Chains A and B, each alone.
Chain A
Amino acid sequence: MNQAFAYIYDDFLSDRRFERELSILETELARRGIEGQVARLAMFRSARETIIDLACAGTKNIVFVGNDKTVEKMMWFLPDVDVTVGFIPLTQPAHIGTLFGIPMGLAAVDILAARLVEKIDVGKLDDRYFLTEVIVPATVASLEVEGQYRVSPAMGGAIAIRNLGSVAGKIPVPADAKDGWLEAIIQTRVNSDRWLAPSSLDETVIRLKHGSIISKEPIDVFMDGHTVNGFSFKLSIVPNKLKVITGKVVR
Chain B
Amino acid sequence: MFNAQKSSGYEGGKGSATTIIAHGVKVEGEFTSQSDVLIEGEVHGSFSTIGMLTVGSDAKIKADVKAGSAVVSGTIEGNVIVSKHLDIKSTAKIMGDVTTETVMIESGAVLSGRMTVGVKPTGATATVSVESPRGRVNGRERVPVLASET
Contacts and interface: CB of A to CB of B under 8 A. Distances in A.
B26 A151 contact: yes
Given A157-B9, A174-B15, A203-B13, A225 B26 contact: no
Interface residues of B, number: 34
A136 B81 CA distance: 36
Contacts of B13: 160, 166, 169, 173, 185, 187, 203
Interface in B1-52: 1-2, 4-6, 8-16, 18-32, 35, 40-42, 45
Contacts of B2: 93, 167-168, 222, 225
A62 B101 CA distance: 58
A139 B28 CA distance: 18
Interface in A192-224: 201-207, 222
Interface residues of A, number: 44
Given A173-B15, A175-B15, A205-B19, A160 B25 contact: no
A186 B20 CA distance: 10
B49 to A, nearest CB: 12
A188 interface: yes
Given A173-B12, A187-B13, A150 B24 contact: no
27 contacts: A137-B9, A148-B29, A148-B30, A149-B27, A149-B31, A151-B27, A152-B26, A154-B26, A154-B42, A158-B9, A158-B10, A166-B13, A168-B5, A168-B10, A168-B11, A168-B12, A173-B12, A186-B25, A188-B23, A188-B25, A202-B22, A202-B23, A205-B19, A206-B20, A222-B2, A222-B4, A222-B5
